[in-house]
Amino acid sequence: MSKSFSYPNKGTCSKETHIVLNDDHTIESIEVIGGCNGNLKGISRLLKGMKVEDAIARMEGTTCGPRPTSCPDQIAQNLKRALAEL
């Protein structure tokens, strides 16, 4: 069974992340609204089927230019929130 989550992004060009997680902590899908369309579609495809914990470990702390966060970091933060709600 899967569960859907939506969270606002903070400090990035992207505005929101939609996440669908499976009970076994694998990512069914991720959609990021706004931001760099092609890059975020590519990241979403790479994350499909990955364990949430692995995705967080790979992306958390990534920055974008002078910003203290990035779209990948926001995905990681939102995955952490979703994992806590599973």
End-to-end CA distance of the chain: 11
Query: How does pLDDT run across 1-34, given as a tens digit for each residue?
Result: 999 999 999 999 999 999 999 999 999 999 999 9
Question: What are the structural domains, with CATH classification, of the chain?
Answer: 2-85 (3.90.1010)
pLDDT tier at 59, thresholds 50, 70, 90 = very high
**pTM, two decimal places:** 0.96
Angle 65-71-69 (CA atoms, 0-180°, nearest 5)?
Answer: 50
